[in-house]
Structure 1
Amino acid sequence: MTSATDPLPQSTMPRLIATDLDGTLLRDDKSVSDRTVAALAAAEDAGIEVFFVTGRPARWMDVVSEHVHGHGLAICANGAAVVDLHAGGELVQVRDLARLTALDVVRALRDAAPGTSFAVELATGIHYEPAYPPFHLDPGATVATAEKLLHEGRPGEGTPVLKLLAHHTDLTPDGFLALARTAAGGHASITRSSPTALLEVSGLGVSKASTLALCCAERGISADEVVAFGDMPNDIEMLSWAGTSYAMGNAHPDVTAAASGRTVDNNEDGVAAVIERILTRLDRRA
């Protein structure tokens, strides 16, 4: 019987490790420790694939691009895009948010939470409303209302929308999430990964979990053969889907409840600690 903190069955041979980045694999200063780099390389040397699964857009994947081995694929934007990091962040699969659906969400949240401001994450970059907190990493963004940002002359001719972001200055993060899911959850998938009241809206059914499941099915990998790591509400579906999952020591309480195990926090290399245990078990079985 496995413990609550280390749920990996002794007989399990993982085939894929799926890990979130911010607050999970990355330390708070956005670095990847030497210990973690070594653990990821050792896992792939042992025949275990590694997928980075993140809410980040492809253009913000430079934090791990030097540590990609093997196939080099990553799941970005909470499952809306599969990216080839070996090809400079090329999008190899997109699960977009329909613009009309995004507009429905905008209208619903404007009514339910006055003062909400929006940003639109396209396959080519992000654009946002005047009241939205500016992205200093994206100085070329267009600033306009969400309605204008989502407008297209003819249906289907616009650049794919990966996700809609909604920000509120007064509501609590979890309170805003609950309100938004009540008001607009029938239109789209709504989650959060920020410590602020910033929501991320994807196409209905699009999540880290559903895209990871598709990628695993293409490789003949079952959920029982996946070990996943995460720390925030946008990781919950993935941790629930994977056969073995770990919440970080710094995780949101709902994430801890969803995971089958727990590891130490991101600044203590919690992902590396588990990978090292997995590889030790494999060595003992060899």
Structure 2
Amino acid sequence: MENRYGIKAIAIDLDGTLLTTEKIITDRTIQTLRHVMDNGIHVSIATGRSLTTASRFIEQVGTKFPAVCYNGSCIYDPSNNKDLWHIALDSSICKRIVDISLTSPAHLHAFQEHELYFTENGRNADYLEPLSGKTGKAIDFSKLSPLRFTKAMFIGERTETDRIQSLLKNEFGSTLHLVYSHADYFEIMTGGATKGSALERLMDMYGIHSDQVMAFGDADNDKEMLTWAKFGIAMGNAHETIKSVASDTATHNDDDGVAKKIQEIMGFQLPD
């Protein structure tokens, strides 16, 4: 393996990037990632998912390097089973989010202390991760105390989630980081909590600079990460607005896009 650019770490989004549309990681991709890890390159999963739903993919890849979860609100160390960094929304903001949910047809999913909460009616709203209906807990949000969401997410029609986004922007401005991870998945984190800021924080812990990092993503919540890393790579299935901020483009997530681009840039080829 040449590694002619001196890359020390690779950060990879899950949905639409590392995962195929069938929500699997191909054997070719796993072999590629394990090859670079065997050659001393760190691999970090950087996802909007919760730790619970990301863990099985982290284990499947076999990386022990810390992961970025909840769109940058948490850095988790799988080797020691602990958070290295974790930030949550202020309780007054959480209360406002709950109040909005009471009159909205969009379903609120909230993550707190690595637990997922939703109302019974919203149990199956997360169609991208059907297992969440079983791993989460149906509750009455008015009875949850304290309220300190790591991330809140409204799942519903775009017109409704756009309305909620406008409300929160007007009320809280830059104190919140508001982003879509999917067409109708509107996510709310505290201001400054992005994949990019978390990745920078993580790499600083290991003395790794942005020009030594490769990052892969496909969605709006990957923008900051792709612009921070010198080798910011958008997937072929990414929207044009994401490709426009990336330094390079990979093939589709259903075409081993991550594996092919890593092999191309790192200068090696594995047998099919």
Q: TM above 0.5, one fold?
A: yes
Q: Which amino acid aligns with 2:256?
A: D
- C-alpha contact (below 8 Å) 1:14/1:225 kept by paired residues: yes
Given that 2:120 and 2:138 are in contact with CA atoms closer than 8 Å, whether structure 1 keeps it comes out as: no
Gap regions ≥5 residues in structure 1: 1-9, 153-157
Shift of 1:116: 4.0
Identify the range of structure 1 (57-66 vs 19-28) with the bigger mean alpha-carbon deviation: 57-66
Aligned counterpart, 1:66: 60
1:202 is matched with 189
- For residues 242 and 164 of structure 2, the distance between their equivalents in structure 1, rounded to whole angstroms, comes to 15
Distance 2:37 2:167 in 1: 40
- CA deviations 1:120-156 (Å, max 9, x no partner) are 11123111235535355243513224x443x43xxxx
The corresponding residue for 2:174 is 186
2:257 matched residue in structure 1: 270
Deviation of the 1:263 alpha carbon: 0.8
Give how far 1:177 is off.
8.0
For 1:103, the equivalent position in structure 2 comes to 95
Deviations 1:97-132 (A, max 9, x none): 22222224555x569x95444221112311123553
- State which of 163, 179, 183 in structure 1 corresponds to 2:151: 163
Asked if the contact 1:83/1:92 (under 8 Å) is kept, the reply is yes
Task: Write the distance in 2 (CA, Å) between the matches of 1:176 and 1:267.
Answer: 33
How many residues get paired? 259
* 2:123–2:138 CA contact under 8 A, matched in 1: no
For 2:203 and 2:247, the matched residues in 1 are separated by 20
Provide the C-alpha distance between the structure 1 equivalents of 2:193 and 2:40, rounded to a whole number of angstroms.
28
Equivalents in 1 of 2:50, 2:257: separation in Å? Answer: 24
Contact 2:165 2:178 in 1 (8 A): no
Alignment counterpart, residue 11 of structure 2, candidates 1, 14, 18 = 18
TM, length-normalised to structure 1: 0.80
Provide closer, same or farther for how the CA distance between residues 29 and 281 of structure 1 changes in structure 2, counting only shifts above 3 A. closer
1:127 is matched with which residue: 117, 142, 150?
Answer: 117
Residue of structure 2 equivalent to 1:238: 225
Name segments (4+ residues, structure 1) moved above 4 Å: 175-178
Q: CA deviation at 1:238?
A: 0.6
Contact 2:234 2:246 in 1 (8 A): yes
2:31 counterpart (35, 38, 59): 38
1:65 aligned partner, one-letter code: E
- Distance in structure 2 (CA, Å) of the matches to 1:219 and 1:170: 40
Give the match's secondary structure for 1:193.
Answer: strand
Partners of 2:201 and 2:59 in 1: how far apart? Answer: 23
What is the distance in 2 between the residues matched to 1:45 and 1:15?
12
Secondary structure of the structure 2 residue equivalent to 1:171: helix
Identity %: 27
Q: Which amino acid aligns with 1:271?
A: V
Residue equivalent to 1:248 = 235
Q: Which amino acid aligns with 1:121?
A: F
Compared with structure 1, are the counterparts of its residues 241 and 200 closer, same or farther at alpha carbon in structure 2 (3 Å cutoff)?
Answer: same
Give me the CA root mean square deviation: 2.8
SS in 2 for 1:258: coil
Counterpart CA distance in 2 for 1:237 and 1:244 is: 12
How high is the TM-score relative to the length of structure 2?
Answer: 0.84
